[in-house]
Structure 1
Amino acid sequence: MVEWLVIVYDKPEADRLSCRQQHIAAVPNHIETGKITNVGAIYKDVDEAGTPKEFIGSTYNIIADSREEILEFLKKDIYYKNGIWDLDSVVMHPYGCFHRVSKK
């Protein structure tokens, strides 16, 4: 198994908030099974106070044997099923973590 850095962008004008709670509800199981080691939203920018604004996609560290396995994982997510994610935009690279810190 390989750890991969995965970025998947939202389709333009996608309303991820409409199914965000369902998406988030699935995350703990994937962490517990060891499928994902890191997950979060990505944003277009930050405001003057440093607050992220405007969702543009998601990022993951996924444990998988292949890019095909990653795509199958993403296709099971509510964001894909509801047309939020643009799978043509997916960026996947094998990832070698040097150091990992838990979110505080």
Structure 2
Amino acid sequence: MDRAGVREDHLKGIPAAFNKGVTNCGAIYKDDARTEFAGSSFNIVANSREEIIEFLKTDPYYKAGIWDVDNALIYPYGCAGRLAKDVSQP
């Protein structure tokens, strides 16, 4: 499945995701030039792996069959600091 067909809907949902526990999110690339896409990254405040999977299943990429959330890499994360970014700016 081609990501481009649902990317706009995926990006529209990001601001609302911050009300559902997301603290940051973005693309992962295979190269420094950011030309080869490798996946997606979310930091999410959640109580369980299942809660994270349920959140991911609400995304257009999952609904379009792009994300395999049952095999998502999910790890506990301790944030030592972060900068704010205006999510309305790409």
* TM-score class, shorter: 0.7 to 0.9
Give me the identity figure in percent.
51
> Which structure ranks higher in relative contact order (CA pairs < 8 Å, sequence separation ≥ 6)?
1
Q: Tell me how far apart the structure 2 counterparts of residues 78 and 64 of structure 1 sit (CA, whole Å).
A: 20
Structure 2: runs of 5+ lacking an equivalent: none
Runs (4+) off by over 6 Å? none
TM-score (norm 2): 0.85
TM-score (norm 1): 0.74
Structure 1 segment 1-104 matched on structure 2, within 5 A: 14-31=1-18, 33=19, 35-46=21-32, 51-103=33-85
The count of corresponding residues between Structure 1 and Structure 2 is 86
More strand by share: 1
**Contact 2:53–2:70 (CA<8 Å) still a contact in 1?**
no
Structure 1: runs of 5+ lacking an equivalent: 1-13
The change in CA–CA distance for 1:57 and 1:76 in structure 2 (over 3 A counts) is same
